[in-house]
Structure 1
Amino acid sequence: MIWSSNQLGAAYYNILTSELFAMDDTYDDGVNFNIARTLYKQCRPRHVVTISGMSDEFLTALEALVTSEMSSDRSGLSGSSGAGPSQVSLRVLRKREHGFDRCYHRVRCLKLRSEPVNASNVERLIFLQGLLNFKSIVMIHALGLLLIYIDQHWSNIALDPSGRPGFASLASVTLRDIVMIDDDTYEALNIVHARHHPSLFKCGDAAAKKQSGSLFILLNRCQSRPGVQFLWETLRHPTRNVQILNERFEVVEFCLNPDNQSIVENLTSCLKHIYRLTNVILDRYLAQQAKVSDWRRLHKSISSIIYIADICEKHREKVRLFNKIVGSITKEVRYVKYFIEHIVDFGAKRSENDSIVRTNVDSHLDNLHHVRSTLPETLTRMGEKDMKDHLPASVTTCKMVYIPNIGYLLAITGWNPSPADNVDLENLELKFVSNNIRYYKSPSAKELDNTIGDIMLRINKRESYILLKLVKYINKHAASIFNAIQLCAELDTLLAFYVVAREYNYVKPNVVDRQIIAVEQGRHPLQEFLTTFVPNDIYSGDGKSLVKILTGPNASGKSTYLKQVALIVFMAHIGCFVPAKSATIGIVTHILPQITSVDSIALNTSMFLQDMRQINSALYASTPNSIVILDEFGNGTSEVSGLSLLAAVLNTFVERGTDCPHIFVATHMHRVMNMLPRSPMIEEQTFEFVTNGDGSVAYLHSLTSGNVGRSFAHAAARSAGLDKKIVKRALEVYEKFKAGELPPRLPEVKGQDTATHIIEQLLKSENFDLEELKKLVRQFTESPAARINNKNNLFRKTRVYHIKYL
């Protein structure tokens, strides 16, 4: 990443797939660097490279991203066996050695696997200009810097240090279609958690059906590992592209049609056999390290995507994703499947030296196998030939053997009589003696060395040659296979959306490009099955008020409603059906909640300061198509300060007029309406409840217009088990304050006041009698404990007054 003159240029490289991505110059403010942060979260890099001469703020932001990533991995993913923390490295290279001219030249020399075959330098440059915007100076600089870094440090960053970097394709990256959501929002709304990352999560696990923990667990009904990975990325990257969303809705809607159930079942069964395929895995085949099980898994994956394409063929006109899947299966992909089936023997066991290449594939290999199978007979025949032509009559038994690194030898095992130790035999060269067996290099042994040699080595070399040609052909068309697997992973995710929509009666949202949120009988996706849930409507924009101020008793459902609004909007922006009777949702750019979901101690800040940071982000980042959620803002400070801050923030939003975002506020500061202008943009809402004769509250959880004047905290305290005397006293104080009066003193305090009054009266009298004072004190005590208490207090005060009197 390079940041210059408020323009961010960036490029990244996926080591697993050999894909390059470049982002055109994009404006990024020099304070928050939101674009850089979003791009970093999207890439999840292991290496971050920039050049010196950048602003200190930009370098500090990069360091903070790298540090936070490593801390997050240590606290989350590294907690399970088999996964360690990601060691993200940040490299700041010298600008003098990595200037624009050098980087620009390196980009011009970029060679892609997808470029035209036998293209000249001029043709290749034209091809690159069709992929890259060379007017984006910062991006070209960043891309060239990335390529130079890969060239120089490939042995350190690649899993195969002996190889060379390859570049399969080049694609552009844009963040314009991403709904901006920070990590705090993901945690506050329980969308994803680090512990549920696909690297640790078992796809298809039964725990996913318990609908607890997070939205990721609720939606994860994927059949394949690539599907789980795609679901995770989809949740991390909600899109604003209406066309993409409608394509996803098409798939879910198609699957919900009862007439298509057999098609859905066939697709689901095929998706179970799709495995991850990356360049790293292909390198294992290339290095002849693949087992038969690896070839079987590769064959299943390619066969499954071809079967899926064949199923989608009949409906490609109805569903655009089906059409893409069909188009991704080229004839070369089908050839790959055919060649694997034709060449690889899936029944072979490599541990038993079985051939992994089928018979009738290569005539030369078949001849070698024939020689190997007839080798025992050949050795017997050649031994008999030597015994007849070259051995004396004293030799009774012999055999031809093969010893690695020496070759074929004639082993004489029987003599009659036994010869002397130094006897020489004509045409035989003694090699060694072991266990009274003499090993000779005979004429037949030399003939076998020349004609047969190490048969297993020759077989392995021929097999390696055949498999290497197969792997090179697969590698040549890997981009098409990767693309098909990615599309099938998307299909897997959308089938998971379909399963959830069918089980919980979700509906297709109507996503439009205007400022509106209209949801009828919306439900909280993570709460509706935990209790008897009461649906509520959501209306904002498009002629309705944009600022909703929710008041109501404690535990009436305000916070749940706020999160429900955000989650329904979020689900619509990942292409998922939503829990409601009907929904029309306008495209949003940001979801900006002020919900404290992290430990403020860990952030080295107070809870109130963390709330202020979230509010500040909402004020400066929000657009007319953003959602701002304020849950009990201002409760971290005094009532007057919190009330004034809340009113000021809401006034600032209201002053924007039609540019005001969707705002949902839950508060117990009921006087805030008195500090806001009377405007049709502002609407008061509350949740219905019923008060019983004993002071308890029955919550109806139904949203309605209006407000309430109290929060019924005492009823919530009583239901929470707080001591009845404390609740009773709190109610007395509350009623007096509400009437503008001072609350009565506690009985214990009254007793102390009475004793003090008696002392003052006695001290004013001329005849001070301590015994008389004790007698009066006993009259005011009601219990032995109170007698001791009051007497001690009284004696202490008497002594003070006595000293004063003297």
Structure 2
Amino acid sequence: MDESLVLEEDIPMGGLEAVNTLLLQVQPTSIIIPNRAPGDLIELLERDAHRFDDNEGSNGQQGAYILRHTVSVQFDYEAAKEALTRVDLGPSEPDPIQVVPAEEGPAQSFLSPLHNKLMRLSEIINLDSRLAVGCAGAVLNDLDRRRVTEDPSSDDEEEEKGAVFQVKSIEMNTCKDTLLISADALISLHILRSEPHPNPQARSSGMSGPRAKEALSVTGLLLALASSAQGKKRLRQMLLRPTTHIALLNERHKSIEALLRADNCEIAKTMRKLLRKLKNTKTLLLHVRMGVDRIRGQLSVRVGDWKAVLRFAMVATQLKQATRALRGASGIGIFSRISDEIEVNRFFHIGDTIIRTIDFQLSKENSRTEILPGASEYLDELRREFTDVCQMLPELKEAVIRQIPPEAAQYIRHCTIMPDLGFLIAVDMDPETGEGIYRGQDLHEDEWMVSFFSRDAVYYKNQLMLELDSQYGDLPSRITNEEIKVMMGLAASVLEHEDAILSASKLFGELDSMLALALAAEKYNWVAPTMTCSNILDIVGGRHPLQELLVPSFVPNDCTLAGGYGRGVWDDPNEGRGPSMMILTGPNSSGKSVYMRQVALIVYLAHTGSYVPATRATIGVTDRILTRISTRETVATDESAFLVDLKQAGFAMNFGTRRSLFVIDEFGKGTSSESGPALFGAYLTFLLQLGSEKPKVLAGTHFHELFEHGILQESKDLAIAHFDTHVDMEAEDPADKVTFLYRLVPGVSTQSLGILCAAAHGMPADMVRRAEEIMALLEAGEDLAVALAEVSEEEKRRLEEAELVARRFLAWDIPTEGPELENIREQLEVVLGIRGG
């Protein structure tokens, strides 16, 4: 739809983590890889790829994309550069300095045409990203192949064949000024989170639409507030590519601030209503560009599409007027661009042209595109002539009846005129012969020729019809052709302003994204963060943007962290600084994970330009959010949960910087009770010892022995905190024994309260009692093997009783015959001790 080729800069040592992130962001429908691709990359991509055989356990479901292998030479760097130079990017800027070479040189020599194209290409993309350029060459080769194979019938029609799979623009996404966030972080922080479509048929159908829907996530929360397709697309781009450019972030915050002003409230509502009227502009222009279907001879652009283009032109002028009416918006980027770049006269002209051409009311009644009188003088003349001819048809019928025998007149239905067939006489059909009951058999000098059959009538031409054809020609076809010319002219007139329409649509998408963020700030009580170059994080009254929507009340908490100061950032690196690391301890379900996620989400939202859920927030520029939170296990690989944890932690350590935010939850829990705490303690100690390069770290753990033995101690760089709880062991209901207050307080808490949590969540009472006994033995330092081998007094009594029963049973002489068999049940009850004996 965009006809745009987008390249990603090479990511050094990016690996599968970068591929995972790209898959989440782009959501591709087709992936091309070389046949010599690494095995782990192939395994990763094949997990969600479409299966073309039904024997691979696909359960009838379609894959997320089609995975295709191609020869490695398709990814050749030099060939790709040459292919990129062949892309028509439109006229270039004239070079103010003209240098003419003394003599003709090689094709790639200095100032040769190819060299000039490469120079222009280097202004658009980074040619040093060799992998990206090679991949672009593979995509261009695939488009060439599809262009040839998509419609083999158009081999001789180069113009039509070139109209599909074009590349009209090239752009490059760079990591510059971008907050990098991994695929694991996108999922574990619930920034992106999809779930299967609720309709199983939709999940397994072959339709091109999405087979999943956005679950409760930050992206889903904000996208629901956008009013137009353009706005949703732009907002998604902003959410998936958070920026570290402070000037851009401040501009977005100012835009939201202007839209939230009380005196702009009604204008913002009007803007949202206007934006809801907009359809996908690129789809509309694609339909207009397709123009007219010549084969069927009818207008292929639906009236609804023309109405949508007209509505866009009207809305464009209204949105500009609304933007100019905003208070306090002067000098703010998006509002200034709309005010300066939207040419009202241009859109008035587009709307006026459409209004003067199409009769929307008649088109609705006739279910086809109708052209207004006055749009074409020649068309009006043809229509008048056609009206005159239609008025002649009853007279023609009378003329035909006068030429035939009186008894045949009853079989003549009417005379008509049809496209491509001209004037015709309709005669009743003889059901026995399948021919007309009268077919001119009595007129020797006037031959009646059959044109076609309908269900109960036969249509003929005679000499009179032929004379009328020669006199008036094929009026319906001429009218249709003229309508096509008029509509093609209208399409050409609209497409003259295509760039202006697309530019306006892009601006409106930006405006809609700002309106959505403003609505979120108003609806969820978010505030503008203060962005700073200082490597600090100071949040007052922070809240989780999703969790607070799911609970009756949410307890806000503060967070203060400061990363390494580097070189030359502060004169005094110790002035006004806080700890670089905070470790959270305390009971299960007390709020540790929610707190860590909420801090990461506040930092993330601040870098998208959004307001944040807090009372006040000062956010230092953060280059990466690296998480070790949720372990995504899958049977598709042979990696254990602990190995996945190690890979996430290792990735964070290798790629983190002093401006990164680490979120580490329960690292080391997947191994032994000795190795887990050792790894966790060493991990945090390593990060603390980085000095001026240490990152900001939030960590949660239940390894209390690290604090009891002094391995991790509170200092100016390390803060230790926990969430307050109230325990009432006298309460009868297990759910009432522990009350979580969700309030962050300083200090270490060695309580896990796992057993109380188990009781409160429905675990069997016997199991809970046994767990309490084992817990008491562990706290007393008892040898579990010896302690658990001891027998209680009750168990001793029950064992003695069982021994007596066994001895009586062995001493019992069981009768095999005689009258004693009649009371065998009573004897058995005596043996078992049920009755006395």
Q: Using structure 2 for the length normalisation, give the TM-score.
A: 0.75
1:213 is matched with which residue?
216
1:243 Cα deviation (Å)? 3.1
Matches of residues 74-473 of structure 1 in structure 2 within 5 Å?
85-95=63-73, 99-113=76-90, 128=121, 130-132=123-125, 140-154=133-147, 163-195=163-195, 213-219=216-222, 220-278=224-282, 280-282=286-288, 285-287=291-293, 288-315=299-326, 317-330=330-343, 332-349=346-363, 352=366, 355-379=369-393, 400-402=415-417, 405-409=420-424, 421=441, 423-425=443-445, 428-432=446-450, 439=460, 441-442=462-463, 445-473=465-493
SS in 1 for 2:15: coil
The alpha-carbon distance between structure 1 residues 64 and 236, as it changes in their structure 2 partners (threshold 3 A), is farther
1:685 is matched with which residue?
721
The alpha-carbon distance between structure 1 residues 711 and 289, as it changes in their structure 2 partners (threshold 3 A), is same
1:300 Cα deviation (Å)? 2.2
Which ranges in structure 1 are unaligned for 5 or more consecutive residues?
Answer: 1-15, 202-210, 754-779, 797-806
SS in 2 for 1:550: strand
Amino acid at match of 1:107: L
The alpha-carbon distance between structure 1 residues 121 and 517, as it changes in their structure 2 partners (threshold 3 A), is same
SS in 1 for 2:307: helix
1:406 Cα deviation (Å)? 4.1
SS in 2 for 1:343: coil
Whether the aligned pair in 2 keeps the contact of 1:596 and 1:607 (CA below 8 Å) is no
Q: 2:695 aligns with which of 643, 661, 676?
A: 661
1:20 equivalent to 2:5? Answer yes
Equivalent-residue separation in structure 2 for 1:361 and 1:126 (angstroms): 48
Can you list the C-alpha shifts for 1:146-180, whole angstroms capped at 9, x where unaligned?
A: 33332232255799995444333332321333333
The alpha-carbon distance between structure 1 residues 158 and 411, as it changes in their structure 2 partners (threshold 3 A), is closer
1:481 is matched with which residue?
501
The alpha-carbon distance between structure 1 residues 527 and 33, as it changes in their structure 2 partners (threshold 3 A), is closer
SS in 1 for 2:748: coil
Whether the aligned pair in 1 keeps the contact of 2:75 and 2:135 (CA below 8 Å) is no
RMSD (Å) for aligned C-alpha atoms: 4.4
Can you list the C-alpha shifts for 1:55-94, whole angstroms capped at 9, x where unaligned?
A: x43xx465345324437999xxxx999x964432334235
1:140 Cα deviation (Å)? 4.8
SS in 1 for 2:181: coil
Whether the aligned pair in 1 keeps the contact of 2:316 and 2:347 (CA below 8 Å) is no
1:573 Cα deviation (Å)? 1.9
2:571 is matched with which residue?
none
Whether the aligned pair in 1 keeps the contact of 2:292 and 2:488 (CA below 8 Å) is yes
SS in 1 for 2:360: coil
Equivalent-residue separation in structure 1 for 2:194 and 2:502 (angstroms): 26
Whether the aligned pair in 2 keeps the contact of 1:691 and 1:698 (CA below 8 Å) is yes
The alpha-carbon distance between structure 1 residues 655 and 473, as it changes in their structure 2 partners (threshold 3 A), is farther
1:326 Cα deviation (Å)? 3.6
Percent identity (aligned): 25
1:519 equivalent to 2:539? Answer yes
The alpha-carbon distance between structure 1 residues 302 and 62, as it changes in their structure 2 partners (threshold 3 A), is farther
Whether the aligned pair in 1 keeps the contact of 2:179 and 2:624 (CA below 8 Å) is yes
Amino acid at match of 1:28: P
Equivalent-residue separation in structure 2 for 1:198 and 1:481 (angstroms): 37
The alpha-carbon distance between structure 1 residues 581 and 476, as it changes in their structure 2 partners (threshold 3 A), is same
Whether the aligned pair in 2 keeps the contact of 1:687 and 1:703 (CA below 8 Å) is yes
User: Which moved further from structure 2: 131-140 or 625-634?
Assistant: 131-140
Q: 2:600 aligns with which of 566, 581, 589?
A: 566
User: Which moved further from structure 2: 344-353 or 429-438?
Assistant: 429-438
Whether the aligned pair in 1 keeps the contact of 2:668 and 2:676 (CA below 8 Å) is yes
1:264 Cα deviation (Å)? 0.5
Can you list the C-alpha shifts for 1:421-474, whole angstroms capped at 9, x where unaligned?
A: 46423xx443259999995533x5445323433322222211112222332343
The alpha-carbon distance between structure 1 residues 463 and 402, as it changes in their structure 2 partners (threshold 3 A), is closer
1:6 is matched with which residue?
none
1:574 Cα deviation (Å)? 1.9
1:675 is matched with which residue?
711
The alpha-carbon distance between structure 1 residues 353 and 670, as it changes in their structure 2 partners (threshold 3 A), is closer
The alpha-carbon distance between structure 1 residues 596 and 460, as it changes in their structure 2 partners (threshold 3 A), is same
Amino acid at match of 1:740: G
1:503 Cα deviation (Å)? 2.4
Amino acid at match of 1:174: T
Whether the aligned pair in 2 keeps the contact of 1:546 and 1:681 (CA below 8 Å) is yes
1:124 Cα deviation (Å)? 7.3
SS in 1 for 2:739: strand
The alpha-carbon distance between structure 1 residues 23 and 354, as it changes in their structure 2 partners (threshold 3 A), is closer
Whether the aligned pair in 2 keeps the contact of 1:247 and 1:319 (CA below 8 Å) is yes
Can you list the C-alpha shifts for 1:494-545, whole angstroms capped at 9, x where unaligned?
A: 2222222212221111122332111001111122241322111011106111
Amino acid at match of 2:267: I
Can you list the C-alpha shifts for 1:750-799, whole angstroms capped at 9, x where unaligned?
A: 4599xxxxxxxxxxxxxxxxxxxxxxxxxx63xxx554445579999xxx
Can you list the C-alpha shifts for 1:73-127, whole angstroms capped at 9, x where unaligned?
A: 99xxxx999x9644323342352x775554433333321357679xx97997776
Amino acid at match of 2:147: W
1:196 Cα deviation (Å)? 8.5
2:670 is matched with which residue?
636
1:596 is matched with which residue?
630
1:656 Cα deviation (Å)? 1.4
Equivalent-residue separation in structure 2 for 1:501 and 1:175 (angstroms): 28
1:37 Cα deviation (Å)? 5.0
The alpha-carbon distance between structure 1 residues 353 and 277, as it changes in their structure 2 partners (threshold 3 A), is closer
Q: 2:559 aligns with which of 538, 545, 548?
A: 538
Equivalent-residue separation in structure 2 for 1:488 and 1:183 (angstroms): 30
1:685 Cα deviation (Å)? 0.9
Equivalent-residue separation in structure 2 for 1:656 and 1:285 (angstroms): 64
SS in 1 for 2:68: strand
1:181 Cα deviation (Å)? 2.5
2:568 is matched with which residue?
none
1:267 Cα deviation (Å)? 0.3
Whether the aligned pair in 2 keeps the contact of 1:255 and 1:498 (CA below 8 Å) is yes
SS in 1 for 2:548: coil
Amino acid at match of 1:531: P
Amino acid at match of 1:297: A
Can you list the C-alpha shifts for 1:613-641, whole angstroms capped at 9, x where unaligned?
A: 22122112222222211212222222211
Q: Using structure 1 for the length normalisation, give the TM-score.
A: 0.78
Equivalent-residue separation in structure 1 for 2:317 and 2:270 (angstroms): 13
Equivalent-residue separation in structure 2 for 1:196 and 1:320 (angstroms): 39
Whether the aligned pair in 1 keeps the contact of 2:28 and 2:65 (CA below 8 Å) is no
Can you list the C-alpha shifts for 1:309-344, whole angstroms capped at 9, x where unaligned?
A: 232134563431122334453465553333222222
1:572 Cα deviation (Å)? 1.3
1:496 equivalent to 2:516? Answer yes
SS in 2 for 1:278: helix
The alpha-carbon distance between structure 1 residues 613 and 635, as it changes in their structure 2 partners (threshold 3 A), is same
Amino acid at match of 1:66: L
Whether the aligned pair in 1 keeps the contact of 2:427 and 2:459 (CA below 8 Å) is yes
2:779 is matched with which residue?
738
SS in 2 for 1:553: coil
1:714 equivalent to 2:755? Answer yes
The alpha-carbon distance between structure 1 residues 412 and 479, as it changes in their structure 2 partners (threshold 3 A), is closer
SS in 2 for 1:689: strand
Equivalent-residue separation in structure 2 for 1:68 and 1:644 (angstroms): 35
